[in-house]
Amino acid sequence: MAFSPAQQAEYRRLEKAAWQLHCRRLCLDPKDKAAYASWYRAELGKATGKQSTKDCDGGRHWERACSHFEDLAEDGINHQLRLVRGDLRRIRHAAGKINPAWSGQFPTDPDLERYLSGIVAQAFRADIALHQLSDAQIRVITQVVRVDANRLPK
């Protein structure tokens, strides 16, 4: 699923600002379409592993792309902070849909973060932050959480 129209607008604003800054720094013509296309595909690929926003989802990929272009544009840290909390929010939501009582086990984000860090450490034998995990690794973590949520009485 591609970005929503509202997401697309915010993403394009950041991407345009990043391109403009890139051109100013390297004394490039901002109207050079070939240079832009090459730069854009490379930067989107670094951020999401995708070559087009059509292949991206409106969750994790959008947060990663906006965070990346926000950093390149030097436009604050709003999306970078959002990226760090995004996976936590999505995992909480996924497990809460299975069993609303599960969310009560972790009343605050730090509690949930400690729980998820333990799962990451066991599953991947590493101390990795959620936002640094690959999409496949996040699916594994989310599945483990869903199993745990199913074990609790409803």
Domains in the chain: boundaries: 5-76, 85-151
Distance between CA atoms of 148 and 16, rounded to whole angstroms? 43
- Can you spell out the DSSP letters for 115-139? HHHHHHHHHHSS---GGGS-HHHHH
Ordered per-residue pLDDT tens for the chain, 154 residues: 689 999 999 999 999 999 999 999 999 999 999 999 999 999 999 999 999 999 998 899 999 999 999 999 999 999 988 988 888 888 888 888 888 887 788 878 888 888 899 999 999 888 888 888 888 999 999 999 988 888 877 7
| Separation in Å, CA 145 to CA 22, 111, 151 | 41, 14, 10
| Separation in Å, CA 149 to CA 62, 86, 89, 92, 95 | 27, 20, 15, 10, 6
Strand boundaries in the chain, DSSP class E: none
Note the pTM of the prediction, 2 decimals. 0.81
